[in-house]
Structure 1
Amino acid sequence: MNYAQLLLPDFSLILCGYLVCRFTALNRTVWLQVESLTYYFLFPVLLFHSIVKSPLDLGAASSLIAAGVALGLLGIGMAYALPHLPWLGRHIDRREHAASAQVAFRFNSFIALALADRLAGPAGLLLIAVLIGVCVPIFNVAAIWPMARHAQRGFARELLRNPLILATASGLLANVLGLRIPFWLEPAVGRIGAASLALGLMAAGAGMQFGPLARAKALATAVLAIRHFLLPLVALLLSRVFALSPVQSTVLLAFSALPTASSCYVLVAKMGYDGAFTAGLVSLSTLLGMLSLPFALWLIT
């Protein structure tokens, strides 16, 4: 399978968002509102619908969940070990690291859902939705914790108000209880989900900027190497250790190589740090995803 060609439509939308934001009247101010609409409404509807529409066998998905959590914890460990490495630590500013370490383990949920549907259909979409629901709370805690002393609000409250967590938790509860969306509402909900994927990918492109990366090259190289090279290798090992099915392995490997979350720089700014460097990391990570995703999927062929 030509994975680069398979991923082209999604990355074309990212490029489209970048060009529209830079060269038309639909500038960054417009796209900030698009991000909010997608994050707080369209995307949670897609998550809820993805989980509710198909019966979920948690027993069958338990191996993938365990592998995904293990992958995330190892990514967090590698990210926060960087300042303590003797050959690298002296080149890393600790405050800059506290803000940008999250880039190494967080992921872009918009791209995750778009790719899962393209790679593995409804089954893949359901599995990635479960992974998102399990990993988002863990990753958010790991991202917020080192910056917590500068936070204006407690991170526990922020986690409980996270729309992705609320949508996933309510979707899982509805699935377990056997509840389904009424058939007459399905078309509208499906169109909301489709809109969230397209707008989310374009918003990721609209937010790209690269200038600030030059001021901390060692840190940028390290966190992006974890995100786009080391984590896919770890995911391959975990897929063997947990004896995942082909579909589960595909989902885990794609999950391991995703671009980092576009909201990283928003969180950094909210916590009182300079978000420009993190925004540059997010932008470069989005581009590197065009290489790391085909690489990760090639590993299981």
Structure 2
Amino acid sequence: MEGVTGALGPLFLLILLGVALGRARFPGGDFWSRLEGLIYYLLFPAMLVATLAEADVRQVPVARLALVLLGSLSAFGLLLWGLRRRLALDTAAFTSVFQGAIRFNTYVGVAGAAALHGSAGATVAAVAVALMVPAVNVLCVMTFLAAGTLGDAGLRTSLLALARNPLILACLVGAGLNLSGVGLPGWSREAVSLLGRAALPLGLVAVGVALRPAALMRRDGGLWAASLVKLLLLPALVLALASLVGLGPVGRDVALLFAALPTATSAYVLARQLGGDAELMAAMITGQTLMAMISLPLWLRLAG
């Protein structure tokens, strides 16, 4: 347990630092919103390109990893739709619960994988991101569409945003550079790597800044339903499938880590833009992030 908490503890401290900075409103103005944009559109894509372009993906069990992660996501996506009436949620709340149950915080996932297993963990995490980011975004857009919160203009805007998603594009660029054998030639390797190294610490602090503790005052069954799936049921299924298909320790830990991550802070923006329940989404992001500080080490300890 000490090894797991020793690896994840510094990550959680950076998130708590972000909470403190957010409450102190330091440095003020629109600094954090602009920094989030820099991380999302430049620094994190640079990290994905640097990792995927140079990675020996032959060492990653891509097919088994995809079966475990995408199979679990699809299963719980279908389950939530099957239980929609029993959950007794209005349309806006249901779309937020769906996001809260299947979205994951990419920054925490990649940072955690690297902390646990070094470069091998970072490589598997980058592959996991390449698999999951397109799938999760497509599932969420389809949910907004099926729930009827999008008009024609909203659908076009969502599909265009999906095609321009910087994480998806970075995964495609990194994979293309890897498969072509070009990699990152010359000085570009170190330059892109340096950019990427700034993404994780800044991303973790930004996660803390985005948390809204006041939102936890809202008592809503949807909050607990999404958190039950995200922090308990989804990790349990992933751990079982990982054992069934024979994922090695690194692949198993990374798959479990991504399954047990709290939902993404970007889900709040999507809920606000596409007709979801933004306040419920804020409560889920905050509650899951705080609860994951306890649940994540316990899951990884159980796997080990």
* TM-score computed with the length of structure 1 as normaliser: 0.92
Tell me whether 94-103 or 171-180 shows the greater mean CA deviation: 94-103
| CA–CA separation in structure 2 for the residues paired with 1:100 and 1:31 | 26
Tell me whether 274-283 or 58-67 shows the greater mean CA deviation: 58-67
Query: Residue type matched to 2:134 in 1?
Result: P
* CA-CA distance at 1:208 after TM superposition: 0.5
| Counterpart in the other structure of 2:35 | 34
Contact 1:4 1:290 in 2 (8 A): no
- The 3 A distance-change label for structure 1 pair 182 and 31 is same
| Counterpart in the other structure of 1:12 | 13
Structure 2, unmatched stretches of 5+, are none
| CA–CA separation in structure 2 for the residues paired with 1:126 and 1:28 | 36
- Per-residue CA distance 1:143-189 (angstroms, 9 max, x = gap): 12232343535232221110000000111111111112134333332
| CA–CA separation in structure 1 for the residues paired with 2:6 and 2:221 | 32
Provide the aligned C-alpha RMSD in A. Answer: 1.9
| CA–CA separation in structure 2 for the residues paired with 1:107 and 1:271 | 19
Contact 2:61 2:251 in 1 (8 A): no
Tell me whether 145-154 or 59-68 shows the greater mean CA deviation: 145-154
- The 3 A distance-change label for structure 1 pair 135 and 181 is same
Contact 2:215 2:286 in 1 (8 A): no
Structure 1, unmatched stretches of 5+, are none
Does residue 170 of structure 2 align to residue 167 of structure 1?
yes
Indicate the SS of the match to 1:268.
Answer: helix
| Counterpart in the other structure of 2:231 | 228
* CA-CA distance at 1:213 after TM superposition: 4.2
Indicate the SS of the match to 2:26.
Answer: coil
| Counterpart in the other structure of 1:276 | 279
| Counterpart in the other structure of 1:113 | 110
* CA-CA distance at 1:60 after TM superposition: 3.4
Structure 1 segment 91-106 matched on structure 2, within 5 A: 92-106=89-103
* CA-CA distance at 1:77 after TM superposition: 2.5
| Counterpart in the other structure of 1:193 | 196
* CA-CA distance at 1:6 after TM superposition: 1.9
Tell me whether 142-151 or 110-119 shows the greater mean CA deviation: 142-151
Query: Residue type matched to 2:92 in 1?
Result: R
| Counterpart in the other structure of 2:301 | 298
- The 3 A distance-change label for structure 1 pair 220 and 274 is closer
* CA-CA distance at 1:59 after TM superposition: 7.6
| CA–CA separation in structure 2 for the residues paired with 1:211 and 1:144 | 28
| CA–CA separation in structure 2 for the residues paired with 1:68 and 1:43 | 21
* TM-score computed with the length of structure 2 as normaliser: 0.91
| CA–CA separation in structure 1 for the residues paired with 2:26 and 2:60 | 50
Count of residue pairs the alignment pairs up: 297
Tell me whether 109-118 or 205-214 shows the greater mean CA deviation: 205-214
